[in-house]
Structure 1
Amino acid sequence: MPSYQNKLRDKKIDFDRILDKVRVFAPATVANMICGFDILGFAVNEPGDEVKMYRSEEKGVRIRSIEGDGGRLPLDPDRNTVSACVKMLLSDLGILADIGVEIELIKHMPIGSGLGSSSASTVAGLYAINSLLGNPLHKDELMPYCVEGERLACGHGHADNVAPALMGGITLVRGGSDLDIVKIPVPQDLYAGIVFPQVDVPTRDARQLIKEKILLKDAVTQWGNIAGLVAGLFQSDYGLISRSMQDVIIEPSRAILIPEFYTMKEIALTHGALSFGISGSGPSVVAMSQGPEAAEVVTAKIQAHLSEKGIESFKYVSAVNVEGPKVLPFTN
């Protein structure tokens, strides 16, 4: 990011405006939106991750503690995506040697859920450091660092999770090095019913199942579905949204990793869901519905079926979160 780094060097940080502490929440996300692999995603109201950040007399970036990760995440500030991205941003601003920062990461969402766990943490950390510094940067100036966080977390710097987590709402990602993040209108009654079965589907394993080559007829079908979904969102056309949210490329490969997937899909569509598919790389699944009532019914039915099969699960029902990360008050 050399040109971007040079741009940040021109930012003037007023050390008198730096806060003593800040607490930030960043939301979970549903990447792909079924048919839009690596290019579409949206934020939800829950779950999400939280970062508490404190100004310190001792220079440098440190992690005080991590909660809710079961000891899986590193405390080393160079290996943890939250602290590593904060260090990267402070370095590009030219103030890494001039400021001390301590971080508490509170994981309210499960790791490996397919709901953008690493994205939520990274976005919370970057939004927190920007808030601590007095908000010298716009959200779009934080985006390259969010993408770098994804590269550190999973080896692939994609923005389908971090874009909606940072910007809120539904986002379309275009390009690679010349990244465009496009906000898509959110229909008022569009709800997500998410079920997270307690099975392990590592992101790297899920990516390895994706075919390197696809049939042209499948590509044409998928392109039409993506275009139809975007058009349906702009027009609040729930029929078009429903018909378009179908995945003929990624889902057939990844569904085999998720127990009861096709039975869950049948349950969702039978009980009024607009669509059903995999959230991110799974194992979480998402049923899109018109209104919260249908989303509640669908998730309850799916959970009941999984319970009968001896599979524990969590569920979340949410409208699309259009706000993205937010500063929270400190509580005793």
Structure 2
Amino acid sequence: MNTVTGFASATIGNVACGFDILGFAIREPGDEVTLTLLDDPRGELPVSITSIEGDGGALPRDARKNTSSFVVLKFLEYLRSTKGIEFNGHIELELKKNLPLSSGMGSSAASAAAALVAANRLFGDPCTKMELVHFAIEGERVACGSAHADNAAPAVLGNFVLIRSYNPLDIITIPPPADLYCTLAHPHIELRTAYARSVLPRTISLKMATEQWGNVGALITGLLTSDYGLIGRSLVDVVAEPKRAPLIPGFFEVKEAALSAGALGCSIAGSGPSIFAFSSSREIATKVGNAMEQAFSSMPDALEADIWISPICRDGARIID
């Protein structure tokens, strides 16, 4: 097979209390990357971008600067140096962006993960998905200057992901409760990750740290035991949310609307501006989505918002026809 298309879905980093160490994937929307393998070398690099759809011209076409192509370059280097697989041909890459940029939905991670599973398949799947996570993390460094894994890991692996350590990298996947649904609301504004990180405190008090640690431990316990009440009580972020919430118009009104509609909990998706909520059924998650959309539209400066209702994605990045 000379042409393969990979798909990877939106991811939510932080998950309220789990700043830079927790993330999860939903089933849709997501990005698609198609790779075509050519026998002959072409140009300076072994990978080139032939088309990008859906980005409005915002993403770089230089293969060394675009997340999706950069991770394929790193993957090829790894095959040569570690797996003993030489490649003397060329790969053409087509990227279809279905995720909005600077949205808090793991847009760059989805592009990287989709490209990696496609590249892996082109060469006969020589790498495990856990190996692919390493390249996806490096793609995040290109995208935003920080090699964090809370979007990259769930984009590749699916499920909930806990990053116990970055050095050495130690990642634990956590399967979701059967009836846990995510409502994701994306207001039509952009919030740059670099700016959202710049407003965060550089130090926090021991009291604040203790509260955050307690919520992280309880949230993971709630996920493992399918204790929906505990999941809801634990979705409390005392570190990042208080600083980032003012950057999102209507955040507090939208969060209150979600909770009033029956959500277990609600917080900022990644660095924002998207907002996510958990519910214990699709029916409740749909009501929550309607309430969040209405809250955005009812503000003095009304905002349009896209709403997605999804269970947690268990598959991670995958090959599609």
Structure 2 length-normalised TM: 0.95
Counterpart of 1:88, as a letter, is K
Counterpart of 1:313, as a letter, is A
1:83-232 → structure 2 map (5 Å cutoff): 83-94=69-80, 98-232=88-222
Please name the residue that 1:319 is paired with. 311
Q: Quote how far apart the aligned CAs of 1:305 are.
A: 2.1
* 81-90 or 165-174, larger mean C-alpha shift: 81-90
1:299-314 → structure 2 map (5 Å cutoff): 299-309=289-299, 310-314=302-306
Q: Quote how far apart the aligned CAs of 1:175 are.
A: 1.1
Is 1:44 aligned to residue 26 of structure 2?
yes
**Secondary structure of the corresponding residue to residue 288 of structure 2:** helix
Please name the residue that 1:30 is paired with. 12
Structure 1 length-normalised TM: 0.92
- Structure 1 residue ranges (4+ consecutive) displaced by more than 2 angstroms after TM superposition: none
Counterpart of 2:66, as a letter, is N
Counterpart of 1:66, as a letter, is I
Contact 2:175 2:314 in 1 (8 A): no
**Secondary structure of the corresponding residue to residue 176 of structure 2:** coil
**Secondary structure of the corresponding residue to residue 52 of structure 1:** strand
Q: Quote how far apart the aligned CAs of 1:97 are.
A: 5.0
Provide the rounded CA distance (Å) in 2 between the counterparts of 1:84 and 1:240: 40
Question: What whole-Å deviation, never above 9, does each CA across 1:183-229 have from its counterpart, x for those lacking one?
Answer: 11310010000100112211000000100111111110110000000
Please name the residue that 1:246 is paired with. 236
Provide the rounded CA distance (Å) in 2 between the counterparts of 1:193 and 1:186: 15
Provide the rounded CA distance (Å) in 2 between the counterparts of 1:99 and 1:58: 4
Provide the rounded CA distance (Å) in 1 between the counterparts of 2:23 and 2:174: 10
Q: Quote how far apart the aligned CAs of 1:99 are.
A: 2.4
Q: Quote how far apart the aligned CAs of 1:92 are.
A: 2.3
Question: What whole-Å deviation, never above 9, does each CA across 1:11-33 have from its counterpart, x for those lacking one?
Answer: xxxxxxxx311011101101111
**Secondary structure of the corresponding residue to residue 7 of structure 2:** strand
Q: Quote how far apart the aligned CAs of 1:265 are.
A: 1.1
Q: Among the aligned pairs, what percent are the same residue?
A: 46
Is 1:79 aligned to residue 71 of structure 2?
no
**Secondary structure of the corresponding residue to residue 166 of structure 2:** coil
Question: What whole-Å deviation, never above 9, does each CA across 1:218-271 have from its counterpart, x for those lacking one?
Answer: 110110000000011111001111111111111000001001111111111111
Question: What whole-Å deviation, never above 9, does each CA across 1:45-84 have from its counterpart, x for those lacking one?
Answer: 1111000110113322111100000000111111111111
**Stretches of structure 1 lacking an aligned partner (at least 5 in a row):** 1-18
Q: Quote how far apart the aligned CAs of 1:137 are.
A: 0.8
**C-alpha RMSD of the superposition:** 1.0
**Secondary structure of the corresponding residue to residue 175 of structure 1:** strand
Q: 1:177 to 1:99 in 2, by over 3 A?
A: farther
**Secondary structure of the corresponding residue to residue 47 of structure 2:** strand
Contact 1:87 1:96 in 2 (8 A): no
Contact 1:194 1:284 in 2 (8 A): yes
* 62-71 or 76-85, larger mean C-alpha shift: 76-85
Counterpart of 1:322, as a letter, is R
Provide the rounded CA distance (Å) in 2 between the counterparts of 1:200 and 1:139: 31
**Stretches of structure 2 lacking an aligned partner (at least 5 in a row):** none
Contact 1:273 1:287 in 2 (8 A): yes
Provide the rounded CA distance (Å) in 1 between the counterparts of 2:146 and 2:207: 27
Is 1:64 aligned to residue 54 of structure 2?
no
Provide the rounded CA distance (Å) in 2 between the counterparts of 1:84 and 1:238: 40
**Secondary structure of the corresponding residue to residue 162 of structure 2:** strand
* 296-305 or 271-280, larger mean C-alpha shift: 296-305
